[in-house]
Amino acid sequence: MRACVAGWGTAVPDLRLTNAELEDRVKTTDAWIVERTGIRERRIARPDETTASLATEAGAAAIKQAGLSPLDVDLLIVATATPEQPIPHTGAFVGDGLGLHCGSFDLGAGCAGFVYELVTGAALLTGGGLEHVLVIGAEVLSRIIDPTDRTTAVLFGDGAAALVLEASSEHAPDDGPGLLAFDLGCDGSLARLLEIPAGGSRLPTSVETLDQRLQYLKMQGPEVFRRAVRTVVDSANTALGRAGMASSDVDWFIPHQANARIIDAAAHRLGIPAERTIVNIDRYGNTSAASIPLAISEAADAGDLQAGDVVLLSGFGAGMTWGSAVLRWGRA
């Protein structure tokens, strides 16, 4: 029995923030951003758009695309680093907005959050007797970015995307669709490379933390970059090995969209050609937990993903976490 993708959907703010507009806000240039990151524009939430509102819109689209009703969903997981508010969890608002009658929880694993929730949802589906699990990656990163910090302000964007997972029959053939293998990891000794220092139990928000701008994301970009390529390659190879596959078996590589140079280097080292690698960072920037499902949904909408295709996902981010998954595309 395996977890298969039954439907997908996205929600991105209409508002585009171009590199040219960023040139007016921080000391940067379109040329630097394009050359160093591959990003040309990102979407930014308007004041009335939130993590839960984007997640709800993406979730509704995925449920509809799967041909299901909200009452068919047995569990909701929302992966996010930018929750609606500290309490309750974002899934409470999303479940209410969608009219779900099931349990929900949020999952925090940084930019690897989507792979983590895919694996978790699949395990509960196949081991827990559920029929449909809705997994959503949703972020409004623009609310945690220091608008005066050029090293992060140019990178991140807002958006959400959702997949409906459904269980295959108990005696699915070996070459049938579904999640085949995965690899998850975290090296907490690197936690300080990418963090929001204040606002939690260690350093609650205070006048002092606000004065020091500690409510904003801090990233040691070059350090993260140095580890990212090796991490993605090692994790992807581990997941492929567990699936009994090699990179030559991969039809589509859909990595976390953090930096076009990281994606190119990882694909090159894995031996996966550019035409088999899905890249949309130029239009959305880094949307953290939303980036992989956004890329999956766009590739599926474009008709690139065909039943039977082997899809390799790989993400990494704050923690430092990483996660890779191998799945065969197609409905149960």
- Catalytic annotation on 19? no
60 binds ligand UT7 (CB under 6 A): no
36 binds ligand UT7 (CB under 6 A): yes
**Nearest residue relative to ligand UT7 (C-beta):** 221
28 binds ligand UT7 (CB under 6 A): yes
CB of 218 to ligand UT7, least distance (A): 12
Among 64, 97, 146, 151, interactor with ligand UT7 by CB under 6 A: 151
157 binds ligand UT7 (CB under 6 A): no
224 binds ligand UT7 (CB under 6 A): yes
105 binds ligand UT7 (CB under 6 A): no
Task: Pick the closest to residue 123 from 237, 245, 1 (CA basis).
Answer: 1
Q: Which residues of 130-161 are buried (b: 16+ CB within 10 A; e: fewer)?
A: bebbbbbbbbbbbebbbeeebebbbbbbbbbb
- Catalytic annotation on 111? yes
Q: Out of 111, 132, 237, 259, which one is annotated catalytic?
A: 111
* Cβ–Cβ < 8 Å for 316, 235: yes
229 binds ligand UT7 (CB under 6 A): no
Shorter beta-carbon distance to ligand UT7: residue 264 or 304: 264
How many chain residues interact with ligand UT7 (CB under 6 A)? 19
Site residues for ligand UT7, 158-197, by CB under 6 A, read 194
CB of 317 to ligand UT7, least distance (A): 4
8-state DSSP, 111: G
Q: What are the DSSP calls for 248-298, one per residue?
A: GG-SEEEE--S-HHHHHHHHHHHT--GGGB---HHHH-B-GGGHHHHHHHH
- Catalytic annotation on 286? yes
Q: Which stretch binds ligand UT7 (CB under 6 A): 140-148, 171-179, 242-250, 258-266?
A: 258-266
Q: Out of 4, 132, 256, 259, which one is annotated catalytic?
A: 256
| Rounded CA separation 122/118 (Å) | 6
| Residues whose CB falls within 8 Å of the CB of residue 138, separated by 6 or more in sequence, listed in order | 51, 52, 54, 55, 58, 78, 79, 80, 82, 90, 94, 159, 160, 161, 289, 290
Query: What's the first-to-final CA gap in the chain, in angstroms?
Result: 9
The helix-helix angle for 291-301 and 113-127 (nearest 10°) equals 70
286 binds ligand UT7 (CB under 6 A): yes
Q: Which residues bind ligand UT7 (CB under 6 A)?
A: 28, 32, 36-37, 111, 150-151, 154, 194, 221-222, 224-225, 228, 258-259, 262, 286, 317
Positions marked catalytic: 111, 256, 286
